[in-house]
Homo-oligomer: A and B are copies of this chain.
């Protein structure tokens, strides 16, 4: 119990981490603190989620018997709603009563949505009562945020006396990817030192470019300079390890998600010749968030392929508290090994991991499934630790 007190950077309540595995390098490229996609996990590992939720609730609000889940605003994305219902069911199986509240103005009464799985998602309007939010008289001490706040911090959630987790500061209105990857890089260095490897093997180079306006092209010089330098730095690493591939960087919004405002660049000249459509796409993130700061990040090839079609795959790892509860492959049949696979409108197939990420097998080869999944879990936990430090610094 004494030891608990030293946890200055507790794990976020939950997270998902997108990884890229190029064989020579395994690195996180995005850490989501309001994960969706729980419906893509292997149902065989739902007990792991239930157990982890019990531990997580015990840590943040040990007497909680009920939880209010605050949803994302997109009510027509049935995949999202499936995920939401899985989270709600996990809470129920963990012994808590769980309801889903919506911030949307047009959800003014209980709204029941039939889901493809046969389940139903029940969305209810959220109301504010003094320093508490509620669904009617359902106003538990624990409020779980599953909305990444791309549209800003909602007034209704400010200054709650209830335990809001993750905190508002974990949303994209406060959080910056560049902060995350700065913390991640430090974590990766500490880790690499312990096992005596080059930290580059698990950490993507990242640099922030501020004050970019894609529409009027201001700040473009800075961007070109940073992209140029990073491409050269990557080339140097590729030379060091004898990797015969073309370096590339990813340029993305420093805040936000959903694969909007993301660009693959192999040559800085490409930035000078963006057409209007490309610039406009970069200029706005989810829900109209204007891109001002961008993150220039080393592109990591993904050389995992799935099936006869050799579809490009990238692993996504899910964590609840500090436990790795599962993962899946995001499989893309129409994208390249150097492209972002989390793209709206593009077709991707989730392929649930057949095995857990926490049962490595010393009798098997290092890249056998249990061991590869374990390695994913290790890197994802490093990203989780980075997020824990990131949130501690924000609060």
Of the candidates B1, B47, B94, B360, which one forms a contact with A4 in the assembled complex, judged by CB atoms under 8 Å apart? B1
Asked if A48 is at the interface of the complex by the 8 Å CB criterion, the answer is yes
A59→B58 CA distance, assembly (Å): 12
Asked if A44 is at the interface of the complex by the 8 Å CB criterion, the answer is yes
Asked if A272 is at the interface of the complex by the 8 Å CB criterion, the answer is no
User: Which residue, of A54, A62, A92, A358, has the highest number of chain B Cβ atoms within 10 A?
Assistant: A358
A3→B58 CA distance, assembly (Å): 9
Q: How far is the CB of A231 from chain B (nearest CB, A)?
A: 38
Chain B residues lying within 8 Å of A50, measured Cβ to Cβ, are 356, 358-359
Contact sample, A vs B, 14 pairs, CB 8 Å cutoff:
A1-B4, A1-B5, A3-B62, A3-B63, A44-B44, A45-B47, A46-B359, A47-B359, A50-B359, A51-B52, A54-B323, A55-B323, A93-B358, A93-B359
Chain B residues lying within 8 Å of A46, measured Cβ to Cβ, are 356, 359
Residues 322-371 of A contacting B (Cβ, < 8 Å): 323, 356, 358-360, 362
Chain B residues lying within 8 Å of A47, measured Cβ to Cβ, are 45, 48, 356, 358-359
Asked if A109 is at the interface of the complex by the 8 Å CB criterion, the answer is no
Whether the pair A7, B1 counts as a contact (CB closer than 8 A) is yes
Chain B residues lying within 8 Å of A93, measured Cβ to Cβ, are 358-360
Residue of B nearest to A59 (CB): B1
The 10 lowest CB-CB distance pairs between A and B, nearest first, are: A47-B356, A3-B62, A50-B358, A4-B4, A93-B359, A1-B4, A47-B358, A51-B323, A55-B55, A47-B48
Chain B residues lying within 8 Å of A58, measured Cβ to Cβ, are 3
Q: How far is the CB of A6 from chain B (nearest CB, A)?
A: 8
Give the secondary structure class of A's interface: helix
Chain B residues lying within 8 Å of A45, measured Cβ to Cβ, are 47
Question: Please, how many residues of chain A have a CB less than 8 angstroms from a CB on the other chain?
Answer: 28
Residues 58-114 of A contacting B (Cβ, < 8 Å): 58-59, 62-63, 92-94
Residue of B nearest to A1 (CB): B4
Chain B residues lying within 8 Å of A62, measured Cβ to Cβ, are 3-4
Chain B residues lying within 8 Å of A59, measured Cβ to Cβ, are 1
A54→B62 CA distance, assembly (Å): 19
Chain B residues lying within 8 Å of A359, measured Cβ to Cβ, are 46-47, 50, 93
A18→B362 CA distance, assembly (Å): 33
Q: How far is the CB of A92 from chain B (nearest CB, A)?
A: 8
Q: How far is the CB of A142 from chain B (nearest CB, A)?
A: 12
A47→B55 CA distance, assembly (Å): 15
A151→B178 CA distance, assembly (Å): 61
Chain B residues lying within 8 Å of A362, measured Cβ to Cβ, are 92
User: Which residue, of A7, A50, A362, has the highest number of chain B Cβ atoms within 10 A?
Assistant: A50
A52→B356 CA distance, assembly (Å): 14
A362→B54 CA distance, assembly (Å): 19
A360→B47 CA distance, assembly (Å): 10
Residue of B nearest to A374 (CB): B93
Residues 275-293 of A contacting B (Cβ, < 8 Å): none
* 17 additional A-B residue pairs with CB within 8 Å, beyond A1-B7, A3-B63, A51-B358: A1-B4, A3-B58, A4-B4, A4-B62, A44-B44, A45-B47, A47-B358, A48-B51, A50-B359, A51-B51, A51-B323, A54-B323, A55-B55, A93-B358, A93-B359, A93-B360, A94-B358
A179→B359 CA distance, assembly (Å): 38
User: Which residue, of A44, A47, A63, has the highest number of chain B Cβ atoms within 10 A?
Assistant: A47
Residues 217-245 of A contacting B (Cβ, < 8 Å): none
Chain B residues lying within 8 Å of A55, measured Cβ to Cβ, are 55, 323
